[in-house]
Amino acid sequence: MGELYAAMIQYFQKNGAAFLTQVLQHLRVSGISILAAILIGVPVGIFCSKSLRLYHVFTSGFGLLRVIPSLALIFVCIPFLGVGELPAVVALTILAVPPILINTALGFRNLPASVLETAVGMGMDAQHIFLRVKVPLAAPLAITGIRTATVEVIASATLAAYIGAGGLGQIIFTGLGLYRMDLLLIGGISVAILSLSADLVLSIVEMQVARRVRA
């Protein structure tokens, strides 16, 4: 155990700058993917919430994407997009869209009818009802979807190293190739810390939004 700990310390002493670069690469690929998924999932979720038929079509269609393994998505993108960061971002975006879309649609479909009726009775027009009533009420559930997608993407982004997109997956795959437990622990623990940190931050945001809605 002492030798393993010493090997991990030695790695950081020799490769501290490279490790930081890989963390930033991991965050970059994950961040771009989540942002793209939000830009796709939230508007589509709002759109399909307006019709039960659209809701079932979109949630079922995008829900099927969740059963496709992340690595398979990445390799499917390679013939069309080559290797590197782009196919990794596209694959991770596809992975992240379903929970964001589904939760957003659920949030907008389950709005309290009494609150909407009260807003209409107060003379609010459709735009004000959407921005000041619907969006705040649906936001907590939408953020839950973003939170789920973020954790999944950060964990799955390790696979991006397979196609030259960098990130912490490089450390993990190097450890697998060299049978080095220290590298496996460094890579695995680092990814876990990033995932848990993102989950904690977004859970705090979710609680704050929900508290304001209740107030």
pLDDT at 192: 95
Please tell me the predicted confidence (pLDDT) of residue 181: 92
Q: What is the pLDDT of residue 1?
A: 67
Buried b / exposed e along 175-198 (16+ C-beta atoms within 10 A)? beeeebebbbbbbeebbeebbeeb
- Over residues 187-198, the pLDDT tens digits come to 999 999 999 999
Contact between residue 32 and residue 132 where contact means Cβ atoms under 8 Å apart:
no
Check: CB of residue 29 under 8 Å from CB of residue 88.
Answer: yes
Q: What is the DSSP letter of 159?
A: G
- C-alpha 202/C-alpha 146 separation (Å) is 8
What distances in angstroms separate CA 38 from CA 34, 97, 114, 170, 173, one per listed residue?
A: 6, 7, 29, 27, 30
Residue 197's pLDDT is 95
Q: What is the pTM of this model?
A: 0.90
Q: For position 179, what pLDDT does the model report?
A: 86
Query: What's the Cα-to-Cα distance from 142 to each of 30, 195, 205, rounded to whole Å?
Result: 18, 19, 11
Segments in the chain below pLDDT 70: 1, 215
What's residue 215's pLDDT?
Answer: 65
So what's the pLDDT on residue 133?
87
**pLDDT on residue 212:** 81
